[in-house]
Structure 1
Amino acid sequence: MERTSIFWNHIKNYRWSYVIGFALLSISSLLQLLIPVLLGQFTDRLQISSLTYGETIQFAIWMTAVGLGIAIFRSTSRIYLFRLARVLETRVRGDLFKHWEKLSAQYFNNQRIGDLMSHAISDVQVIREVSMQGYFNILEAILLITVSVIAMVTSVNPWLTLVTMLPLPLLSILAYRFNDRIQKQSANMQSAISDLTSRVQEFTAGIRVVKAFVQEKEESKLFTKDNEHAVDMNRKFVRTNSLFSSLSTGIVGFSFLVSVVMGGVMVLNHVITLGQFVAFNTYLSLLMGPIENLGKVVNLMQRGKASEKRIMEIFNTQPQVIDDLVADQTIERIGGEIEVRNLTFAYPEEEDRPMLKNVSLKVPKGTSLAIVGRVGSGKSTLVHLLVRLHNPPEGTVFIDGRDIHEIPLNILRGQIGIVPQDQFLFSSTIRDNIGFDPHPYTDEQVVEASKVAQVYENIVEFPDQFDTTLGERGISLSGGQRQRVSIARAIIKKPSILIFDDSLSAVDTITEDLILEGLKSVMNKRTTIIIGHRISSVQGADQIIVMEAGQIVERGTHEKLLQRNGIYADLYHKQQLDQEAERQDGQDDDSIQATLSQEGAGV
């Protein structure tokens, strides 16, 4: 269901709370209108010298009582309405995060982190300001202007009121003329903030690369450029805002000038009394603030409109991967048999270039499949379709004989343990990263998973061991350690299907052998898919497929593929030669070291 308005939906949900807040504000505004009446009466009595000492005290008490009433009701209404604004801010930010969680992975591939942060922080803050200051100032202005004008017409002089109010409609014309400019410049300013945030995030994430390539000066230039652009956009916005506010103040000031001149003449001609003149100008003084605030509110509303538009675009973006209508909610587990039938798949933005072409395979429950191939051959795309990070065409991917679309997403993903290529870790403790699952795990289970993944010995060397807090993205660990923690995170779930997406590339061959040996007990009776470049990590699989340009070009066991002398055999022989060369280099280094030692001993 498409959302229409953040503000209107919030007001509908909290309409009675707003009624109470506006009622309190109305009482405060009406109390303010007693001040001109009291001042007018006081001035008239003072002018004819009929004011007694007791009446002076009485006027003072009334003024004090009205002032206290205004303070109490105004502050109470502000607290009430501003609390509702904070509720809106919290709800919108929470809804935004929840909606992001529902969106497909492909959405985030096309978004910058800086833009997302700007939406969650800057845009939501603007929306809060609109609901906080905007609503408050608009209602106060409407109440004060309406009641004050009525009082000025009925209790002072209608012609003086008419002439004084004539310039004020120019504010509406002014707001209309500045409307598009303020909205456009507000959007440009928010976009510039997003660019700047993205620049800072990218720099901090790649700080090691920046330093390794001595790019500090170049990065500083890029940051300075984005920073100056943000300042320039903000300066243009402030300039427009200042011009609008100045013109608004000038119009209001001109009305005040008309009041003083024309009202003074009326007093001299005895058309109105001095008390009425004082009361009239006091009414006008009360209107000055709200009328000037209307200009600020127009500015704020345009900013709010731009921010709301940006956030509504996110809310109205529908997730591409959701539970289908055919999903069977009675399914609680999956067995693990995988079958792919004539699968052809292309990403939405590249529909004319399929990543997978007519792929067919079957992985019986409890067996293992290894996938090898060059970069970009479609290996990762295939396993991403198994966990429905993207939607495969219906009738192409089956688990336990059922179309994958029939299996609820939470069951499908909860029963598949995947170790991705990027080894992403969260900036929390090692224990939290290994036990990253809705279901809690015991310390013994966490330790056992770390031992299977061959990372336990590394963890216990840290001062805080499993309570060690990792840096952002697990940067405090080495690449191999991150991979092994990711492996532990996948196997602790004890899933029906295990997927290792090139998960051993950052470890040495000895550690790789230890991990594979430890995984044998975990892989037993579980369907396992291993994507790898090293033949040593995939040669023990029950079946191996070789992918090329999105197609399966070879399949079989390790021995059968070697007999074919195809791509797999060629890759195997090359790796054998590389390993032999490494061993030979190591032997040569040992020989040189031994010779130097003998020479040193002879000397």
Structure 2
Amino acid sequence: MRNRSIFREHFYLHKWSYFFGTGLLAISLLLQLVVPGLLKEFTDGLQNDSITAAGLWKLALWFIITGFGTFVFRSSGRIYIFKMSRILERDLRTSLFSHWEQMQTNYFHNQRIGNLMAHAVNDVNIMRQIVMQGYFQTVEAVVLITIAIFMMASTINLSLTLLVLLPLPGLTYIAYRFRAKTQAYSLQVQEAIGVLTSRVQEFCSGIGVFKTYVQEEEQLKKFTEENDSNVEVNKHLIRTNSLFTSLSQGIVGLSYLLSIVLGSILVMRNTISLGDFVAFNTYLSLLITPIENIGKVINLLQQGKAADNRIRDVLTTEPEIQDEEGVRPITSITGDIEIKNLSFKYDKSKRYALQNINLSIPKGTSLAIVGKIGSGKSTLVNLLLRLYNPPKNTIFINHQDIRDIPLKTLRTSIAYVPQENFLFSTTIKENIAFDPNPYEDPQIFHAATQAHVYHDITELPQKFDTVLMEKGLSLSGGQQQRVCIARALMKPSPIIIFDDSLSAVDSKTETGILQTLRSEMKSRTTIMISHRISTIQHADQIIVLNEGKIVERGTHQELINKNGIYKKMLEQQTTQHSLELQPLRYIHRQNILIKRRRRT
């Protein structure tokens, strides 16, 4: 649990780097504060007609030295502190991404993608600004204001200094009054950006559906409403910041007015010299920018506090699925799977997705799962992968509860082809060789051949080096499925799972892939989910799920003999397949008749 703010943690980790950058900046500010003294000496010399050519050269040399020194040290300090801001940005984005990698699947189902993107982009940018502008300007203000006020009071006139600085505490009061509003509006702005980003992401992902249903105007209307809402909350924040800045500048202007009026009176009374007056106003001019920046820093800190809270809410959310305490380091597992009295329901669901499931899948054998939609097929696979946590002592691999197996070991030992194909926006070769183990090209080509997608790929202009569009849209649905199958076959895992992975391929290609898979099944424990009986009929054992329960089990022939749900599914699919073939048979017969007529 994070008790300190993100910036404080970062500052603590890199304190010596911050101290070094602060030191460089402080030296440049001290050199700046030499200038008023030089101007005082020059002005008094002119007024008293006591300045000489040698004195002018000396003053000119000091101006050059202080100017060059200020440039060198200020630039170095600025570069160093700004570098730290980029390190914070890098580390924060890495922490967010690393944390999201540990979160369970359900976490992302309950989050808007736009909000997650807003965390990684907008909130992190605000935290970067805390260092790049906030820290830099705070150091500048503290050093300049402290030393300048000391020099004004000790070397020029204490009373004049106190009177001129009298309005400045009003900045603290104004900052206090605006603090809550700035923070609230900043939070609303970040939330509005998240909503807007989610809308754009959803539109881009579902563009085909929107166009098919002629929803362009409706989507534009929704986007316009959310965009207008984003503008409104930004207007509130801009008005608040503008009013705060204007009041701050007004207070600074009042101090400057007092300096001109009261300082002139003191010069005319010979209480201070003309050089003191010039030096005093030069000190004050050096103070104006950092004093104005205090207001900006306070506003930035309020925005930063809102961003800090949002990011910490993410980073302090504990993943539900992680290695249990005391898990022993297991480097590899075999494929013996046993499920005992497994019952499971999702959060906020009253109905059990799976009830009293008992299964034994020996190493090197195959299990097929069939059943209508919502019967619990994919849920069972998700529990095996620990995308959701099964109850303790219900699923065992190698006679060991999978919750006692390290997650990395478990998932490394399972190759998985999901129901929804997902390909990355990179080359086909890199999509197939996605497993972290290094692979040679012949292995990639062999996997593509096994998945019956090799010839499809070699017909593309760049072949295996073809870069896919987002989500693999460069390929057809069947080609996407086969590339995903090739990716699973590449992974040298003792367990392989196919979740309805042949639904988009034709029957001829399916037959070829199944022949390949049958040879793979001899060395791996295989679990296949499918709606097609033809896909799973050669499995060593088949179970039929209905409303989360195993209602039938056995081999293909045993289930047909039971004359139950499985046989009805087979008959329905056989009839449907026959109806689909009738037009083709009719066309074939017509072609034969045409050929006979031509011969006669």
2:2·2:312 contact (CA, 8 Å) conserved in 1? no
Please tell me whether the aligned partners of residues 483 and 506 of structure 1 are also in contact (alpha carbons under 8 angstroms): yes
State the partner residue of 1:546.
Answer: 544
Post-superposition shift, 1:505?
0.7
SS of match in other structure, 1:343: strand
One-letter code aligned to 1:106 = N
Amino acid in the other structure paired with 1:419:
V
The Cα shift of 1:4 comes to 3.2
Matching residue of 1:452 = 450
Distance in 1 (CA, whole Å) between partners of 2:285 and 2:138 is: 17
Specify the alignment match of 1:346 in structure 2.
345
CA distance in 2, matches of 1:349, 1:183: 34
What pairs up with 1:192-231 in 2 under 5 angstroms? 192-231=192-231
Instruction: Give the equivalent residue in structure 2 for 1:180.
Output: 180
Partner amino acid, structure 1, of 2:137: N
Matched position secondary structure for 1:235: helix
Deviation, 1:292, is: 0.4
Give the counterpart letter for 2:211 in structure 1: K
Q: 1:469, 1:525 → 2: CA distance? A: 33
For each residue in 1:366-425, what CA deviation from the matched residue of structure 2 results, as whole angstroms up to 9, or x when unmatched? 111111111111111111111111111110000111111222212211111110011111
Alignment match, 1:291: 291
SS of 1:440's partner is coil
Asked if structure 2 preserves the Cα contact closer than 8 Å seen for 1:185 and 1:233, the reply is: yes
| Distance in 1 (alpha carbons) for counterparts of 2:258 and 2:407 | 71
Residue-pair matches, total: 599
Higher mean alpha-carbon deviation, 589-598 vs 128-137, is at 589-598
- Asked if the contact 1:118–1:197 (Cα under 8 Å) also holds between the matched residues in 2, the reply is yes
Corresponding position of 1:256 = 256
What residue is the counterpart of 2:534 in the other structure? Answer: 536
Which of 389, 401, 404 lines up with 2:402 in the alignment?
Answer: 404
Asked if the contact 1:93–1:124 (Cα under 8 Å) also holds between the matched residues in 2, the reply is yes
Aligned pair partner of 1:425 in 412, 423, 445 = 423
SS in 2 for 1:500: strand
Answer yes or no: is the 8 Å Cα contact 1:429–1:468 preserved in 2. Answer: yes
Question: Is the 8 Å Cα contact of residues 377 and 548 (structure 1) preserved in structure 2?
Answer: yes
Q: Which runs of 5+ in 1 are unaligned?
A: none
Whichever residue aligns with residue 582 of structure 2, its letter is Q
Whether the 8 Å contact between 1:545 and 1:556 is mirrored in structure 2 is: yes
Judged with a 3 Å threshold, the aligned counterparts in structure 2 of structure 1 residues 3 and 464 are, in CA distance, closer, same or farther, namely farther
TM-score normalised per structure 2: 0.96
Q: 1:361 aligns with which of 349, 359, 362?
A: 359
Q: 1:597 to 1:205 in 2, by over 3 A?
A: farther
Taking the aligned partners of 2:110 and 2:535, their CA distance within structure 1 comes to 33
- AA of the residue aligned to 1:263: G
Residue identity matched to 1:311: I
RMSD: 1.8
Are the counterparts in 2 of residues 336 and 497 from structure 1 also a CA contact under 8 Å? yes
Q: For residues 170 and 577 of structure 1, what CA distance do their matches in structure 2 show?
A: 86
Partner of 1:234: 234
- 1:594/1:209 CA distance change after superposition, 3 Å: farther
1:455–1:485 Cα contact (<8 Å) kept = yes
1:379-528 to structure 2, matched below 5 A, reads: 379-528=377-526
Q: Deviations over 1:439-467 (max 9, x none)?
A: 01111111111111111111111111111
More divergent stretch after superposition (125-134 vs 104-113): 104-113
State the shift of 1:217 in Å: 2.6
Letter in 2 for 1:281: N
How much does 1:212 deviate?
2.6
Secondary structure of the residue aligned to 1:348 is coil
Please list, as runs of the form range in 1=range in 2, the aligned pairs for 1:303-314 lying within 5 A after superposition: 303-314=303-314
Equivalent AA in structure 1 for residue 113 of structure 2: I
Alignment match, 1:53? 53
Q: Using a 3 Å threshold, how does the CA distance of structure 1 residues 290 and 115 change in structure 2: closer, same or farther?
A: same
Letter in 1 for 2:586: D
Residues 565-574 or 217-226, more deviating = 217-226
1:595 Cα deviation after fit: 7.1
Q: Give the corresponding residue for 1:579.
A: 577
- Matched residue, 2:91: 91
Q: Distance in 1 between matches of 2:246 and 2:502?
A: 66
Instruction: Point out the more displaced range, 585-594 or 274-283.
Output: 585-594
* Larger CA deviation: 319-328 vs 496-505: 319-328
| Separation in 2, partners of 1:146, 1:471 | 58
Q: Does the Cα contact within 8 Å between 1:3 and 1:316 map onto a contact in 2? A: no
Query: What is the one-letter code of the residue matched to 2:199?
Result: R
- 1:2 Cα offset (Å): 3.9
SS in 1 for 2:527: strand
In the aligned structure 2, how far is the partner of 1:326 from the partner of 1:64? 67
Of residues 411-420 and 117-126 in structure 1, the stretch that sits farther from structure 2 once superposed is: 117-126
Contact 2:367–2:528 (CA under 8 A) maintained in structure 1: yes
Give the Cα–Cα distance (whole angstroms) in 1 for the partners of residues 43 and 150 of structure 2: 21
Partner amino acid for 2:469?
G
In 1, Cα distance between equivalents of 2:171 and 2:352: 58
Name the CA shift for 1:165/1:95 in 2 (closer, same or farther; >3 Å): same
> Is the contact between residue 3 and residue 315 of structure 1 (CA under 8 Å) also seen in structure 2?
no
Alignment partners' CA distance in 1, 2:29 and 2:492: 66
The corresponding residue for 1:319 is 319
SS of the residue corresponding to residue 498 of structure 1 reads strand
Q: Take 2:587 and 2:181, find their aligned partners in 1: how far apart are those partners?
A: 72
Q: Secondary structure at the match of 1:499?
A: strand
Given that residues 167 and 251 in structure 1 are in contact (C-alpha distance below 8 angstroms), is that contact kept between their aligned partners in structure 2?
yes
Aligned to 2:23: 23
Which position in structure 2 is the counterpart of 1:377? 375
Identical positions, percent: 51
Cα shift at 1:513: 1.1
CA contact under 8 A between 1:346 and 1:355: conserved in structure 2?
yes
* Counterpart check, 1:134 vs 2:119: no
Q: Which moved more, 1:80-89 or 1:36-45?
A: 36-45
How much does 1:594 deviate? Answer: 6.6
User: Residue 143 of structure 1 aligns with which residue?
Assistant: 143
Secondary structure at the residue paired with 2:493? coil
Letter in 1 for 2:148: S
Cα distance in 1 for partners of 2:297, 2:326 equals 50
Is the 1:373–1:533 Cα contact (8 Å) retained in structure 2? yes
Q: Is 1:100–2:107 an aligned residue pair?
A: no
Q: How many angstroms apart in 1 are the aligned matches of 2:301 and 2:594?
A: 80
Letter in 2 for 1:462: L
Partner of 1:63: 63
Q: For 1:597 and 1:231, locate their aligned partners in 2 and report how far apart those are by CA, in whole Å.
A: 72
SS in 1 for 2:426: coil
1:271 correspondence with 2:271:
yes
Correspondence for 1:334: 333
User: For the residues of structure 2 that align with 1:588 and 1:217, how far apart are their CA atoms?
Assistant: 45
**Structure 2 vs 1, CA of residues 220 and 589 (structure 1 numbering), >3 Å: closer, same or farther?**
farther
- Give yes or no for contact 1:3–1:312 (8 Å, CA) kept in 2: no
Q: Which amino acid aligns with 1:587?
A: R
